[in-house]
Amino acid sequence: MAAGIGAAAAVVHAGPIITSIRQLRVRAFPALAGVGSATHVALTFDDGPDPASTPLFLRELDRLRYRATFFMLGEMVDKHPSIAEEVAAAGHEIAVHGYRHKSHLERTPGAVFDDAARAVDTIAATTGTAPTWFRPPYGSVSFGTLRAAMRLGLAPVLWTCWGRDWRPNASPDTVVADVDRALKPGGTVLLHDSDCTSAPGAWRSGLGALAPLAERFAELGVEVGPLGQHGVANKRPQVEGHAQASDLLYLEAASGIEPLYRDLQSLA
Protein backbone atom coordinates (compact mmCIF):
# COMPACT_ATOMS: atom_id res chain seq x y z
CA MET A 1 0.00 0.00 0.00
CA ALA A 2 2.83 2.40 0.86
CA ALA A 3 4.35 1.80 -2.55
CA GLY A 4 1.01 2.60 -4.17
CA ILE A 5 0.68 5.87 -2.25
CA GLY A 6 4.26 6.79 -3.12
CA ALA A 7 3.68 6.10 -6.80
CA ALA A 8 0.50 8.15 -6.77
CA ALA A 9 2.20 11.07 -5.03
CA ALA A 10 5.04 10.94 -7.54
CA VAL A 11 2.59 11.13 -10.42
CA VAL A 12 0.78 14.07 -8.84
CA HIS A 13 3.96 16.10 -8.28
CA ALA A 14 5.47 15.17 -11.64
CA GLY A 15 2.22 15.87 -13.45
CA PRO A 16 3.10 19.38 -14.73
CA ILE A 17 6.36 18.06 -16.19
CA ILE A 18 4.93 14.90 -17.73
CA THR A 19 1.81 16.49 -19.16
CA SER A 20 3.75 19.40 -20.70
CA ILE A 21 5.70 17.05 -22.98
CA ARG A 22 3.45 15.83 -25.77
CA GLN A 23 5.13 12.48 -26.37
CA LEU A 24 5.05 11.58 -22.67
CA ARG A 25 1.51 12.87 -22.28
CA VAL A 26 0.17 10.74 -25.13
CA ARG A 27 1.87 7.58 -23.84
CA ALA A 28 1.40 7.95 -20.08
CA PHE A 29 -1.86 9.94 -19.97
CA PRO A 30 -3.79 8.97 -23.13
CA ALA A 31 -7.22 10.16 -21.99
CA LEU A 32 -5.83 13.42 -20.65
CA ALA A 33 -4.07 13.92 -23.99
CA GLY A 34 -7.35 13.40 -25.83
CA VAL A 35 -6.63 10.03 -27.44
CA GLY A 36 -9.89 8.59 -28.67
CA SER A 37 -11.35 6.30 -31.30
CA ALA A 38 -9.01 5.29 -34.11
CA THR A 39 -11.75 6.16 -36.60
CA HIS A 40 -12.10 9.75 -35.39
CA VAL A 41 -10.20 13.01 -34.94
CA ALA A 42 -11.42 15.60 -32.45
CA LEU A 43 -11.22 19.22 -33.61
CA THR A 44 -10.96 21.80 -30.81
CA PHE A 45 -10.56 25.56 -30.53
CA ASP A 46 -9.36 27.70 -27.60
CA ASP A 47 -9.65 31.31 -26.39
CA GLY A 48 -12.94 32.49 -27.89
CA PRO A 49 -15.53 33.68 -28.39
CA ASP A 50 -14.24 36.63 -30.42
CA PRO A 51 -16.47 38.77 -32.67
CA ALA A 52 -13.59 39.47 -35.06
CA SER A 53 -12.80 35.84 -35.79
CA THR A 54 -15.14 33.22 -34.28
CA PRO A 55 -17.98 33.84 -36.78
CA LEU A 56 -15.51 33.22 -39.63
CA PHE A 57 -14.53 29.89 -38.09
CA LEU A 58 -18.19 28.97 -37.72
CA ARG A 59 -18.79 29.76 -41.38
CA GLU A 60 -15.84 27.64 -42.52
CA LEU A 61 -16.76 24.75 -40.24
CA ASP A 62 -20.28 24.84 -41.59
CA ARG A 63 -18.92 24.76 -45.15
CA LEU A 64 -16.81 21.72 -44.24
CA ARG A 65 -19.78 20.18 -42.39
CA TYR A 66 -17.70 19.84 -39.25
CA ARG A 67 -18.74 20.20 -35.64
CA ALA A 68 -16.03 20.97 -33.11
CA THR A 69 -15.42 21.65 -29.42
CA PHE A 70 -14.90 25.28 -28.39
CA PHE A 71 -13.01 25.83 -25.14
CA MET A 72 -14.27 29.25 -24.10
CA LEU A 73 -12.83 31.80 -21.71
CA GLY A 74 -15.46 33.09 -19.31
CA GLU A 75 -14.07 36.60 -19.61
CA MET A 76 -14.59 36.51 -23.38
CA VAL A 77 -18.10 35.10 -22.94
CA ASP A 78 -18.97 37.99 -20.63
CA LYS A 79 -17.65 40.45 -23.23
CA HIS A 80 -19.27 38.79 -26.24
CA PRO A 81 -22.28 36.74 -25.09
CA SER A 82 -24.02 36.80 -28.47
CA ILE A 83 -21.01 35.13 -30.13
CA ALA A 84 -20.97 32.40 -27.48
CA GLU A 85 -24.68 31.85 -28.12
CA GLU A 86 -23.98 31.67 -31.86
CA VAL A 87 -21.40 28.90 -31.34
CA ALA A 88 -23.85 26.84 -29.32
CA ALA A 89 -26.71 27.49 -31.74
CA ALA A 90 -24.55 26.17 -34.60
CA GLY A 91 -24.39 22.80 -32.85
CA HIS A 92 -20.83 22.91 -31.61
CA GLU A 93 -19.76 21.49 -28.26
CA ILE A 94 -19.09 24.05 -25.52
CA ALA A 95 -16.22 23.53 -23.08
CA VAL A 96 -14.30 25.42 -20.39
CA HIS A 97 -10.89 27.07 -20.79
CA GLY A 98 -11.11 29.02 -17.54
CA TYR A 99 -12.37 32.50 -16.78
CA ARG A 100 -9.06 34.31 -17.23
CA HIS A 101 -6.15 32.99 -19.26
CA LYS A 102 -3.55 32.44 -16.54
CA SER A 103 -1.38 29.37 -15.96
CA HIS A 104 -2.52 27.11 -13.13
CA LEU A 105 1.12 26.69 -12.15
CA GLU A 106 1.03 30.33 -11.04
CA ARG A 107 -2.16 29.95 -8.97
CA THR A 108 -3.12 28.33 -5.71
CA PRO A 109 -5.55 25.38 -5.86
CA GLY A 110 -8.23 27.60 -4.36
CA ALA A 111 -7.72 30.28 -7.01
CA VAL A 112 -7.82 27.64 -9.75
CA PHE A 113 -11.14 26.34 -8.46
CA ASP A 114 -12.67 29.81 -8.12
CA ASP A 115 -11.65 30.74 -11.66
CA ALA A 116 -12.94 27.48 -13.14
CA ALA A 117 -16.21 27.65 -11.22
CA ARG A 118 -16.80 31.22 -12.38
CA ALA A 119 -16.12 30.13 -15.98
CA VAL A 120 -18.54 27.20 -15.72
CA ASP A 121 -21.30 29.42 -14.35
CA THR A 122 -20.74 32.13 -16.96
CA ILE A 123 -20.54 29.76 -19.93
CA ALA A 124 -23.53 27.66 -18.85
CA ALA A 125 -25.74 30.69 -18.17
CA THR A 126 -24.89 32.27 -21.53
CA THR A 127 -25.00 29.26 -23.83
CA GLY A 128 -27.61 27.18 -22.03
CA THR A 129 -25.18 24.28 -22.14
CA ALA A 130 -23.58 22.55 -19.16
CA PRO A 131 -19.95 22.01 -20.20
CA THR A 132 -18.25 18.70 -19.46
CA TRP A 133 -14.67 19.29 -20.71
CA PHE A 134 -11.96 21.42 -19.15
CA ARG A 135 -8.68 22.50 -20.77
CA PRO A 136 -6.49 24.69 -18.54
CA PRO A 137 -4.75 27.73 -20.04
CA TYR A 138 -1.45 26.86 -21.74
CA GLY A 139 -2.23 23.21 -21.04
CA SER A 140 -0.61 23.67 -17.63
CA VAL A 141 -1.94 20.90 -15.39
CA SER A 142 -1.46 21.09 -11.64
CA PHE A 143 -3.00 19.14 -8.79
CA GLY A 144 -5.28 22.15 -8.37
CA THR A 145 -6.42 21.67 -11.98
CA LEU A 146 -7.43 18.07 -11.38
CA ARG A 147 -9.06 18.79 -8.03
CA ALA A 148 -11.09 21.66 -9.51
CA ALA A 149 -12.17 19.48 -12.42
CA MET A 150 -13.27 16.74 -10.02
CA ARG A 151 -15.28 19.12 -7.84
CA LEU A 152 -16.97 20.70 -10.86
CA GLY A 153 -17.70 17.42 -12.64
CA LEU A 154 -15.46 18.26 -15.59
CA ALA A 155 -13.17 15.97 -17.57
CA PRO A 156 -9.72 17.52 -18.16
CA VAL A 157 -8.33 17.12 -21.67
CA LEU A 158 -5.35 18.58 -23.53
CA TRP A 159 -4.35 17.66 -27.10
CA THR A 160 -2.21 15.29 -29.14
CA CYS A 161 -1.24 17.82 -31.83
CA TRP A 162 -1.53 21.54 -32.34
CA GLY A 163 -1.00 24.07 -35.10
CA ARG A 164 1.03 26.56 -33.05
CA ASP A 165 -1.24 29.11 -34.69
CA TRP A 166 -0.65 31.61 -31.88
CA ARG A 167 2.81 32.60 -33.18
CA PRO A 168 3.35 35.92 -34.98
CA ASN A 169 4.99 34.13 -37.93
CA ALA A 170 2.38 31.38 -38.23
CA SER A 171 0.75 30.82 -41.61
CA PRO A 172 -1.76 28.28 -42.93
CA ASP A 173 1.15 26.25 -44.29
CA THR A 174 3.02 26.20 -40.95
CA VAL A 175 -0.17 25.30 -39.09
CA VAL A 176 -0.81 22.33 -41.38
CA ALA A 177 2.82 21.22 -41.10
CA ASP A 178 2.79 21.46 -37.30
CA VAL A 179 -0.46 19.52 -36.97
CA ASP A 180 0.72 16.91 -39.45
CA ARG A 181 3.87 16.16 -37.42
CA ALA A 182 1.84 14.37 -34.78
CA LEU A 183 -1.51 13.78 -36.48
CA LYS A 184 -2.80 10.23 -36.13
CA PRO A 185 -6.24 8.61 -36.11
CA GLY A 186 -7.67 9.03 -32.62
CA GLY A 187 -5.91 12.35 -32.07
CA THR A 188 -7.16 15.67 -30.74
CA VAL A 189 -6.22 18.79 -32.71
CA LEU A 190 -5.82 22.18 -31.01
CA LEU A 191 -6.33 25.46 -32.88
CA HIS A 192 -7.41 28.94 -31.74
CA ASP A 193 -10.46 30.92 -32.85
CA SER A 194 -9.23 34.12 -31.18
CA ASP A 195 -6.00 36.09 -30.83
CA CYS A 196 -6.90 37.48 -27.40
CA THR A 197 -3.85 35.72 -25.92
CA SER A 198 -1.85 35.38 -29.16
CA ALA A 199 -0.08 37.55 -31.69
CA PRO A 200 -2.51 40.04 -33.28
CA GLY A 201 -4.24 38.45 -36.25
CA ALA A 202 -2.68 35.04 -35.56
CA TRP A 203 -6.13 33.40 -35.85
CA ARG A 204 -5.99 33.89 -39.63
CA SER A 205 -3.38 31.16 -39.92
CA GLY A 206 -5.65 28.63 -38.23
CA LEU A 207 -8.66 29.68 -40.27
CA GLY A 208 -6.72 29.34 -43.51
CA ALA A 209 -5.46 25.91 -42.44
CA LEU A 210 -8.91 24.35 -42.02
CA ALA A 211 -9.46 23.51 -45.69
CA PRO A 212 -6.07 21.81 -46.26
CA LEU A 213 -6.42 20.03 -42.90
CA ALA A 214 -9.77 18.71 -44.08
CA GLU A 215 -7.96 17.15 -47.04
CA ARG A 216 -5.47 15.56 -44.65
CA PHE A 217 -8.26 14.17 -42.45
CA ALA A 218 -9.90 12.69 -45.55
CA GLU A 219 -6.62 11.03 -46.51
CA LEU A 220 -6.51 9.42 -43.07
CA GLY A 221 -10.03 8.13 -43.56
CA VAL A 222 -11.27 9.49 -40.22
CA GLU A 223 -14.42 11.28 -39.15
CA VAL A 224 -13.98 14.73 -37.66
CA GLY A 225 -16.04 16.00 -34.78
CA PRO A 226 -16.19 17.21 -31.17
CA LEU A 227 -14.70 15.51 -28.13
CA GLY A 228 -18.11 14.25 -27.11
CA GLN A 229 -18.06 11.95 -30.15
CA HIS A 230 -14.37 11.06 -29.82
CA GLY A 231 -14.60 8.09 -27.45
CA VAL A 232 -12.16 9.43 -24.85
CA ALA A 233 -12.15 7.07 -21.86
CA ASN A 234 -12.41 9.82 -19.25
CA LYS A 235 -14.53 8.64 -16.32
CA ARG A 236 -14.25 9.66 -12.69
CA PRO A 237 -14.26 6.76 -10.23
CA GLN A 238 -16.41 7.20 -7.15
CA VAL A 239 -14.51 6.64 -3.91
CA GLU A 240 -16.28 7.35 -0.67
CA GLY A 241 -14.71 8.09 2.69
CA HIS A 242 -11.18 9.03 1.67
CA ALA A 243 -10.55 12.46 0.17
CA GLN A 244 -6.94 11.79 -0.78
CA ALA A 245 -7.76 8.52 -2.51
CA SER A 246 -10.62 10.19 -4.36
CA ASP A 247 -8.38 12.97 -5.69
CA LEU A 248 -5.60 10.64 -6.74
CA LEU A 249 -8.01 8.19 -8.34
CA TYR A 250 -9.34 11.07 -10.39
CA LEU A 251 -5.84 11.66 -11.72
CA GLU A 252 -5.74 8.01 -12.76
CA ALA A 253 -9.12 8.25 -14.40
CA ALA A 254 -8.02 11.29 -16.38
CA SER A 255 -4.82 9.62 -17.50
CA GLY A 256 -5.65 5.98 -18.07
CA ILE A 257 -2.97 4.58 -15.70
CA GLU A 258 -4.66 1.38 -14.62
CA PRO A 259 -2.03 0.17 -12.09
CA LEU A 260 -2.44 3.38 -10.09
CA TYR A 261 -6.16 2.77 -9.90
CA ARG A 262 -5.63 -0.74 -8.56
CA ASP A 263 -3.07 0.43 -5.98
CA LEU A 264 -5.24 3.22 -4.64
CA GLN A 265 -8.54 1.38 -4.64
CA SER A 266 -7.51 -0.29 -1.38
CA LEU A 267 -7.32 3.10 0.32
CA ALA A 268 -11.05 3.75 0.15
Among residues 262, 230, 229, the alpha carbon closest in space to that of 245 is found at: 262
Q: Which of 40, 80, 97, 192 is catalytic?
A: 192
Instruction: Give dist(CA 77, CA 27) in Å, integer.
Output: 34
Instruction: Give dist(CA 268, CA 266) in Å, integer.
Output: 6
E-strand stretches of the chain? 40-46, 69-72, 93-96, 133-134, 155-156, 161-162, 188-192, 223-225
Instruction: Give dist(CA 193, CA 46) in Å, integer.
Output: 6
Q: Which long-range contacts (CB under 8 A, 24 or more apart) does 86-89 make?
A: 86/49, 86/54, 86/55, 86/58, 87/48, 87/49, 87/54, 87/58, 87/127, 88/127, 88/128, 88/129
Q: Which of 46, 115, 247, 263 is catalytic?
A: 46
Is the dihedral angle over the CA atoms 27, 29, 32, 35 positive or is it negative? positive
CA 105 to chain CA centroid, nearest Å: 16
**What angle (nearest 5°) sits at the alpha carbon of residue 190, between those of residues 75 and 99?**
15
Does a cis peptide bond (omega within 30 degrees of 0) precede residue 49?
yes
46 is catalytic: yes
Catalytic residues: 46, 192
